[in-house]
Amino acid sequence: MRKKIAAANWKMNKTFQEGTNLINEILGADIHLDNNQQVVFSVPFPYLMPIQEQIGGRSNFFVAAQNCHHKTSGAFTGETSVDMIASMGVQFCVVGHSERREYFAESNATIAEKVNLCLSKNITPIFCCGEPLAIREDEIQNDFVAVQLDESLFHLDQDAIQKVVIAYEPIWAIGTGKTASADQAQEMHAHLRSVLASKYGKDIANNISILYGGSVKGSNANELFSQPDVDGGLVGGASLVASEFIQIITALK
């Protein structure tokens, strides 16, 4: 049974005090998670260790780094290596987010290196893929995301690919208030799973969690997560509000 995941991506938001208060509110809701359900807080680097300690080993709650460098070490001032992340016991890392691709010119090849490094340290990569508005308007989004998978993930063997979580981000729906309809989300998630199946077979494709990452809110989470190929969400703005994110967590199927 593949994991159902509510992943919060705080991006560059929240002071440390605000962040710990947010975590306390969410943990205070005393949410019951089934064995196949996980909550992941992708927080700014300075907060990784203290928030991991705040979670206190609570079952099925985790922290994630928002990025990692594609080299193991070196003269890269301001960067953070996978070894550093692993040394704190962090078990997840977001790679290839659309903002990293756009603002920092990360290529599919660079993201492949990050995926490899994460897996080498038993860190689960949350691999982001998705199309900008122009690609969607030209109706070539299926080919676009297939290339992202091919160039960043398809070098992995059958065991390794099942250790990756995929997050589909329609870039035109991130931070814009626009949201792909549940049918649009399901259509793309089913396509991604079919692309995985063409490479690795249906059984393996059906074992990989695919999250939706476009303006998930408490009000639409139930409908989105009820789709057969949508396994949760990578949540931006709504994850910064305790009541919203609690709704999203409880919408996990």
Q: Report the catalytic residues.
A: 97, 169
Helix, strand, coil fractions of the chain, as percent rounded to 5: 45, 15, 40
Tokens of 211: 């999250």
Is residue 55 within 8 A of residue 27, CB to CB? The reply is yes
Is residue 166 within 8 A of residue 211, CB to CB? The reply is yes
Q: How far is CA 11 from CA 19, 79, 136, 147, in A?
A: 12, 16, 25, 26
**Buried residues in 153-174 as b, exposed as e (16+ CB within 10 A):** beebeeeebbebbbbbbbbbbb
Tokens of 237: 């703005």
Is residue 114 within 8 A of residue 92, CB to CB? The reply is no
24, containing H or E segment: helix 16-28
- Report DSSP state, residue 45: G
